[in-house]
Structure 1
Amino acid sequence: MDKKTFLDILSKYNKGKASKQEVDLLEAYYELFEVEENILDQMDLSEKQLLKQQMLARVLEKNIEIVTTKTKTWYDRSWLSAAAVLLILCSVGLLLFKKDRNEIAVVKKSETPTAVIKPGKNQAILTLSDGSTIGLNEEEKGIVLSKNGLLVTKSGDGELKYETNEELIPTTNTITTPRGGQYQLVLTDGTKVWLNAQSSIKFPTRFAGDTRVVHITGEVYFEVAKNKKMPFLVHTHNQKIEVLGTHFNVNTYIDEAAEKTTLIEGSVKVAKVRDGFAEMKSAKLLRPGQEALLTSESSLIKVGTADTEAAISWKNGYFKFDKADIQTVMRQISRWYDVDVKYVGNKSSDLFVGKIKRTEEIQGILRILERSKINTSVKGRTIIITN
């Protein structure tokens, strides 16, 4: 698409004459945060300023309608379309929903990076059954381990793959990611696993018997290889999850309010674990698009509709927030950027809505908070938030 075509679509949209296909195009740009062939780079400064003013006026017009009309929600798709190009101009942005002042703001990415805190990367520790460890990082690739019929290799994109023969006597391995780390691996049955920051998975080097069993902490996404004769079992501190072949995400961070299992594809059965035993009588069967919430205090598993995009956004390289408070936002930031967070004064009641890439450096996050009247400062690897 060239610059003239792009501007013609915007003009038609602002006049309310854009076709459904043209509106869909703007919404697609909102999702991608980028423009084909660097269209915006072809504009001079005056053109960009005019475009920003036009879109801002359109956004504010929609904003007033949304927050003052009770029959409409603040997360209306038509509003997102209006915001699309403004977000593109910002390169990386996050929408702020101010529940106390009914404001929506779009924050521009810093043009002069000043922070030294970098986003996370592919890094983990592999612990073998004898207690020895192997450091895994972004640079190394090739054979990681070859011993007694077990071959562990690492691809150029950082994925660890386990291969073995049937004569191998199974032993237990553990992969652990630190704060500021993530990792991918393929188990010997072909199951693909993604580990978020500050997470772990304990697994056998070869699955034997009539089940495939792994234990996890933190947050892990699975694409389980199908094997009807050998169910796949995931154990957490409070859950036992049984699957045959499916895609699902498990968030079991101890600093979150509840353990959450989100089903993307297939089916899973979630049971509460009490005193080391799974209570199968009260287990819940999830359908795609559902999530199970479980707390250590409650004996009940709550099942509801999931925001599947938000649940696996970390795996796909971005954060997604939907009316999240500052503590929820900063827990994710803390784990991914390997920082501590300290709150001074009353905690903000603002709710955050939107997306931001996980490759963004920390100053992009801090500028968003500062524009919402939340004062931030950095001392070492601690972010201090003052409201």
Structure 2
Amino acid sequence: MHQRLKYLYHRFLKGNCTDVEYQELIALMDFLKDDPVLHELLDESWPILIENESTLPIDRAAAIYQRIVKEPQLKHRMFHKWKLYAAASLLLVAIGTIFYFYTDNLLNRSQTYSKNASIEDVEPGTTKAILTLASGKKIDLNNAAIDMQEAQSNLRIRKPNAGSVTLSLSEYANNNLQNEVEWNTITTPKGGMFNIVLPDSSQVFLNASSSISFPTNFAQHEREIKLTGEAYFEVERHKDIKGNSNVPFIVHVGSQLIEVLGTKFNVAAYTETPSIVTTLLSGAVKVTMGQGKEQSKDAVILKPGEQSRANKNSHKITVHEADIEESMAWKDGYFLFNNEPLKQIMEKITRWYNVEVSYEGNVDSIRFLGIYDRSKSLRKLLKDLEQTGKVHFDLIPDENTTKGRRVIVTAR
């Protein structure tokens, strides 16, 4: 993210920024307003920006800067006056006259929630998941004991901290690898996420409304799991029982097969999306469409920094350069919208805040670019999006509570 900020900032100083890049720069400065890297960039650019000092009084610049990045009162600000001025000047130039429209109407647009004031806000998602054993027994991992043994499934469950679970097999299970394969499943609901360490020491970070299934015993020649939704993997290399070779780690995702040895990658495969997206951070993975007799002979091998998109209908796989920060934003605790259609954004909001969404009017052409903290409440996030002037949101409570569980989206 810092590299992207520096890249856009220097493009701006050279006068080479596109309109979309201007918007992205503003969003990054807002998100990183307390970051020392941003402060250093402002220090560096002071000789360039100070030339415009006579065109904007320092108190006006400070007020503008506060509105853009929501800084505290001036007496508590972190920047010196000249830094405030530099940042304000940069942002003023970047968005030109549109900014004045924004500042003049900011308070008016923020009042659009007044009629929703009595509706209880929706807090962001938290760590929560359910483990369903092969026997059918369900365990709420949030409320499970810190260290427990499930004799029937030969599984030991340990919780090193909240939101994380470490799984290991008993000695009996490790010595009886030929048993019939049965599957355990960990599921996160809407508004939930969880970190799982599998019996082979591989880590899985499970996003909201997702599930991972793993066998009660990994086979000697391969480690197979099944995924729905989205997860980030850090796969450990694992030798066979004789210690001679690496055992492949295979992820079944719908009609797609991902084969790895030791690597870090993210897979997004929600039911409502048209493609299965695999993003590789390190190592190598082999991506194939179809399984068994229907498995395609056409496979792609991804290199670090590449991303495959497997169309669920055509079964065609394309490979692109990956935007790692965008793919990993959910795991790092924020939403990153890169000129993203509003409906796709609302799908993410639906999963994380566990709400329903309906639309009034045509919103197909509305897109957003920005970075938003996933720890914000729903009302705060929607208010930020609404301040662009593109869209209006209404929170509607469900039948039994005052909590705003339904969002009505209206194009402006």
TM-score, normalised on structure 1? Answer: 0.75
In the alignment, which of 75, 81, 85 is matched to residue 44 of structure 1?
75
Distance change in 2, residues 1:209/1:102 (3 Å): farther
Q: Which residue of 2 aligns with 1:384?
A: 408
Check whether the contact 1:14–1:58 (CA below 8 A) recurs between aligned residues.
Answer: no
How many Å separate the matches in 2 of 1:8 and 1:233?
45
Q: Structure 1 residue 184 and structure 2 residue 201: aligned? A: no
Cα gap change, 1:362 to 1:124, in 2 (>3 Å): same
2:87 equivalent among 55, 76, 79: 55
Q: Per-residue deviation at 1:153?
A: 1.2
| Counterpart code for 1:62 | A
Per-residue CA distance 1:351-385 (angstroms, 9 max, x = gap): 22221111111112111222122111011211100
Q: Higher helix share goes to which structure? A: 2
Question: Could you tell me which residue of structure 1 aligns to residue 5 of structure 2?
Answer: none
Do structure 1's residue 143 and structure 2's residue 147 form an aligned pair?
A: yes
Which one has a bigger Cα radius of gyration? 2
Give the structure 2 partner of residue 212 of structure 1: 223
> In structure 2, what is the equivalent of residue 76 of structure 1?
none
* 1:346 counterpart SS class: coil
* Letter in structure 1 aligned against 2:347: R
Q: Deviations over 1:84-123 (max 9, x none)?
A: xxxxxxxxxxxxxxxxx89997989x9x996520100111
SS at match of 2:122: coil
Q: Which residue of 2 aligns with 1:73?
A: none
C-alpha contact (below 8 Å) 1:218/1:251 kept by paired residues: yes
Write the mapping of 1:1-387 to structure 2, written as runs, cut at 5 A. Answer: 10=42, 13-16=45-48, 43-44=74-75, 55-63=87-95, 115-137=120-142, 140-147=144-151, 149-164=154-169, 165=171, 166-167=174-175, 169=179, 171-227=182-238, 228-273=245-290, 277-279=294-296, 281-347=297-363, 349-373=365-389, 374-380=391-397, 381-387=405-411
Partner Cα separation in structure 2 for residue 186 and residue 8 of structure 1: 39
- Looking at structure 2, the residues matched to 154 and 246 of structure 1 have their Cα atoms a distance apart, in angstroms, of 24
Query: Given that residues 180 and 335 in structure 1 are in contact (C-alpha distance below 8 angstroms), is that contact kept between their aligned partners in structure 2?
Result: yes
Residue aligned with 1:347, SS? coil
Identity of aligned residues (%): 34
Distance 1:297 1:11, change over 3 A: closer
CA contact (8 A) 1:144 1:154 kept: no
1:19-57 deviations in Å (ceiling 9; x for gaps): xxxxxxxxxxxxxxxxxxxxx769417998977665333
Over the aligned positions, Cα root-mean-square deviation in angstroms equals: 3.5
Report how far residue 299 of structure 1 moved.
3.1
Aligned to 2:54: none
- CA 1:277/1:105 → structure 2, altered by over 3 Å: closer, same or farther? farther
Gaps spanning 5+ residues in structure 1: where? 1-5, 19-39, 68-100
Closer, same or farther in 2 for the Cα pair 1:173/1:346, shift >3 Å?
A: same
CA–CA distance in 1 between the matches of 2:101 and 2:311?
Answer: 33
The DSSP-based 3-state class of the residue aligned with 1:328 is: helix
* Aligned-residue offset at 1:248: 0.4
Match for residue 34 of structure 2? Answer: none
Q: 257-266 vs 205-214, which deviates more?
A: 205-214
Change (3 A) 1:49 1:362: farther
Residues 249 and 308 of structure 1: CA distance in aligned 2, closer, same or farther (over 3 Å): same
TM-fit CA distance, 1:295: 1.3
Match of 2:384, SS?
Answer: helix
Q: Distance in 2 between matches of 1:295 and 1:8?
A: 43
Moved more, 314-323 or 366-375: 366-375
Deviation at residue 325 of structure 1 after TM alignment = 1.3
Per-residue CA distance 1:263-295 (angstroms, 9 max, x = gap)? 01100000001687321x200000001111011
Q: Is the 8 A contact 2:191 2:352 kept in 1?
A: yes
After superposition, give the CA deviation of every residue in 1:238-266 in whole Å (9 maximum; x if it has no partner): 20000001000000001113110000110
Kindly state the Cα deviation for residue 9 of structure 1 after the two structures are TM-superposed.
7.8
Deviation at 1:332, TM superposition (A): 0.7
Q: Is this contact kept in 1: 2:49–2:90, CA < 8 A?
A: no
1:236/1:384 CA distance change after superposition, 3 Å: same
Q: Which amino acid aligns with 1:251?
A: A
**Residue identity in the other structure for 1:192:** Q
Map of 1:85 onto structure 2: none
| Separation (CA, whole Å) in 2 of partners of 1:46 and 1:244 | 50
Q: 1:12 and 1:275 mapped to 2: Cα distance?
A: 59
What SS does the corresponding residue of 2:329 show, helix, strand or coil? Answer: coil
